[in-house]
Chains A and B, each alone.
Chain A
């Protein structure tokens, strides 16, 4: 047994707001307080006296961080690593020997790595853990290459992880919608999630990625997908219905249409309304909350979008906050990446995936003195400050699209410290600053709210019952911070991080490497669908139906998360 005693605990899921509490851990889980056994009674085995103690007096105790949207592994990320050696050269990590249980001067107890915006897998696991995060969701994988994603996840230590499976341009689903076969689409989605060992339905630019295979895109909810006669609206509403039918722990995770374009706030709000009350998550909403006229100067449309989010309790969002500096944009949104290549002149990687989706990668540099980037930055900030309910707005940088994940502490400081925010605002391009709503927003996040937007809220939105809180029965993923005035410094270097009850980080440095688990779902479906799928595979794929599913051997460390 392990006790974390006298800490200032922030556990929003259980309504604990900075009260001094003791947290007890056994068998990798949070347990109830053991009976005190004073020395005169001789102490009892397994009781409080026998416990190992972390004295957290004066320290802040939170559940381990839970990231709802980050691109850390898989085909796109690896393509980004492969074609960006310039990203890695100055950002390296040496292999090390660790303290116990590796004492004895054995080299190689942790692995080396490299990469800034696109770190290698081991390094990604270490860096997240060293920032106090213990669960991370990989935001997009094409089903056809899910096997690759799982191989990389197995090489990403410490973290628990899940994979979102892209379905918004899937031929089988679009055919079902055209033919009015919602139930067949539902069974297919369930089969696909099990076959790919996925966690959630991901929708990226519905219909637009398929149209990109013809050199086109979609720009309105009722535009037609070439060759299928369906619309983005139909794709999104059908998948939202399927999600509810299957009782998946998460909701459909939506990257809407017109990402990055002036005036996209309108279509974003239209898509929120199109769901007609069904639950959904809109990711990296900053990129989808711009005002102004299409093709004209970019303005923040955060107010319009935040109003819609505030009015629709069925919606959660993550921000995708811009971090000034280098980034690598990578998304299944193929036409967007071509546009970014045209816009920046930077090298461009494109990968269309048969019958399913597409994707692209383009390096990026966000600059304070670039009016476009400055508007993007303040749009994200405004979303954070204008959406009232912290349980529905989450901290992400859409890593590595808007910036690397290890800048989360900077974003926390921007949210908690309005003077720092004003200082940053003063440093951005004057044209973006002029008349910006952000200058008038003096809201400051509390530690309690930060705990919501970085763990409690994300865990709840993901349907992870055992994460994001410190109640009895929760996974013993705990982060302990020094209470510092400089919130960036506080959140960048936790004093302790525990994963499944074991100390993995001390004073911001990794001290113990262990594997994490891959979380996936197995919703039930009518096995009769397999006959249809065999025909579909023969007609549409270049691999056989039998070689498509990811076998259990690829997930030696895993956990099935139950559906409702």
Chain B
């Protein structure tokens, strides 16, 4: 059976033109997807697996009971992850956090959390990816490497895409890459500006100064010649529709949200000359959805704490790394994420010291230290749901193969009911 227009849940591009062939409930072929997407579909684990408590296989009611007791006994539980699950499950996870008085945080806090803080300071002139495809004649990729991290971004949405005002695709656009080292993306750019590591803020500030007609009495800023910067400013002012895509090279280097705020201010100011927009290159398939669901239910996009009965927001205090590293979290529920593999050592260690519950299709590193392992279906492969693309366009994830495993949403629903009866 051939299934068309399948949405790939892997990265923030959410390409929705994937063709999947299924025979006897097994995926046998994947068309149009990039290497990462193809691998996701072809290697998906969908077979029945029993949940485990303390390494022992148990049935689902026993596992849910154990998980609910851990969460209920905790004084300061943490719920973390969310970016690779569907928004339906994210909404349940937030409901559970509200019920428990827990802290809830998504992987945003270790990727584009500083972007959110920058936007909270300066706003964000942005657009959907179709506007980039059809209008943008100047594309700047700053601190990101889509050629390797968002492999179909160039062809579907940006550098190579053929749109209404850009019928010749790549020929109708100027592509600029700003990064600290040459990358696969910079090799495909018209202009590559190599910034000295940690100097993004200085370069952005210099661009703002030049835009305002200020004279800089230096030859270079942050490793980039002023002549090159002046040239870029002229291109920015004179383009028809400009776009800066930015990644963790901007958000996770020194200055963090200050870099982002400077970039957002530059883009806003450029609108006095022409239309200019910007967009963070979101990594995980539904990390944008995690920001959205948390915001509509609590008012805040990440780092939310319910201990006082109402939502409080404070990155640095209620972000998962900090709550773990300070030893405050005394139980953790990790949903569709692998913090033990990615967090700083102190935070990762804490996860092996406290009772941790993992909801994930894979036995990842975190699952290996977890007290309760709940194997679930994969959204976009063996479960239907909703994911938000990097430009916040929501797309329906399909169930292309059957799986005996429950979805994250179902498991969280069971947990909520069990916690309620524990409390009653």
Contact = CB atoms under 8 A, between A and B. Distances in A.
B241 A213 contact: yes
Instruction: Kindly list the 5 A-B residue pairs having the minimum CB-CB distance in the complex, ordered from nearest.
Output: A354-B130, A347-B123, A94-B309, A114-B299, A352-B127
A544 B5 contact: yes
Contacts of B275: 212-215
B13 to A, nearest CB: 10
Contact of A148 (B7, B311, B388): B388
A524 B275 CA distance: 39
Interface string A190-206: 00000000000000000
Interface of B: 4-5, 7, 16-17, 87, 91, 95, 98-99, 116, 119-131, 133-135, 156-157, 164, 240-241, 268, 271, 274-275, 277, 291-293, 295-301, 306, 308-311, 313, 386, 388, 392-396, 420, 423-424
B299 A104 contact: no
Given A78-B292, A85-B300, A114-B300, A106 B424 contact: yes
B128 A347 contact: no
Interface in A252-284: none
A341 B119 CA distance: 14
A111 B297 contact: yes
Given A114-B300, A144-B128, A542-B157, A83 B119 contact: yes
A152 B296 contact: yes
21 contacts: A78-B296, A81-B299, A82-B300, A83-B120, A120-B297, A121-B296, A145-B394, A147-B396, A148-B392, A151-B386, A212-B275, A341-B123, A349-B119, A349-B123, A349-B126, A350-B125, A352-B128, A354-B129, A354-B133, A354-B134, A542-B128
Contact of A112 (B127, B301, B310): B310
Interface in A80-107: 81-85, 87-89, 92-95, 104-107
Interface residues of A, number: 65
B6 to A, nearest CB: 9
A88 B300 contact: yes
Given A92-B311, A541-B130, 11 more contacts: A78-B296, A82-B120, A85-B313, A95-B309, A113-B297, A114-B299, A212-B275, A213-B135, A350-B126, A351-B128, A542-B393
Contacts of A112: 98, 298, 306, 309-311
Contacts of B388: 148
B91 A155 contact: yes
B130 A105 contact: no
A118 B298 CA distance: 11
Given A83-B119, A95-B309, A546-B4, A120 B299 contact: yes
A108 B98 contact: yes
Contact of A351 (B17, B127, B299): B127
Contacts of A353: 127-128, 130-131
Contacts of A349: 119, 123-126
Nearest to B309: A94
Given A108-B420, A121-B297, A113 B127 contact: no
Contacts of A81: 295-296, 299
A73 B296 CA distance: 8
B120 A348 contact: no
Contacts of B311: 88, 92, 112-114, 120
A122 B116 CA distance: 23
A531 B125 CA distance: 35
A93 B308 CA distance: 10
Interface in A115-146: 115, 118-122, 144-145
Nearest to B264: A347
A343 to B, nearest CB: 13
A85 B99 CA distance: 22
A348 B268 contact: yes
A399 B293 CA distance: 21
A313 interface: no
Greatest chain B CB density within 10 A among A349, A542, A546 is at A542
A78 B295 contact: yes
Interface of A: 73, 75, 78-79, 81-85, 87-89, 92-95, 104-108, 111-115, 118-122, 144-145, 147-148, 151-152, 155, 212-215, 338, 341, 347-355, 358, 361-362, 539-544, 546-547, 551
Greatest chain B CB density within 10 A among A73, A349, A354 is at A354
B120 A354 contact: no
Contact of B310 (A82, A92, A540): A92
B98 A82 contact: no
A93 B127 contact: no
B276 to A, nearest CB: 9
A422 to B, nearest CB: 38
A75 B388 CA distance: 11
A535 to B, nearest CB: 14
A94 B300 CA distance: 15
Greatest chain A CB density within 10 A among B126, B240, B297 is at B297
A453 B54 CA distance: 63
A82 to B, nearest CB: 5
A92 B293 CA distance: 18
Nearest to B272: A342
B164 A350 contact: no
B95 A111 contact: yes
Nearest to B297: A120
B310 A94 contact: yes
Nearest to A154: B91
A515 to B, nearest CB: 14
Contacts of A87: 299
Contacts of B125: 348-350
Nearest to B14: A543
A315 B207 CA distance: 51
B134 A105 contact: no
B128 A354 contact: yes
A462 B17 CA distance: 39
A540 B131 CA distance: 9
A84 to B, nearest CB: 7
Contacts of B16: 543-544, 547
Contacts of B309: 94-95, 112
B299 A113 contact: yes
B107 to A, nearest CB: 17
Contacts of B293: 151
Contact of B299 (A94, A106, A119, A543): A119
Contact of A547 (B296, B396, B424): B396
Nearest to B304: A114
Contacts of A152: 296
A78 B386 CA distance: 17
Given A84-B120, A147-B386, A155-B91, A341 B131 contact: no
Contacts of B134: 354-355, 540
A546 B274 CA distance: 35
Contacts of A83: 119-120, 123-124
A88 B7 CA distance: 35
B423 A105 contact: yes
A122 B296 CA distance: 9
Contacts of A118: 299
B257 to A, nearest CB: 13
A534 B134 CA distance: 18
A550 to B, nearest CB: 9
Contacts of B300: 82, 85, 88, 114
A106 B156 contact: no
A215 B98 CA distance: 44
B295 A543 contact: no
Contacts of A82: 116, 119-120, 291-292, 295, 300-301
Given A81-B295, A113-B298, A352-B131, A106 B396 contact: no
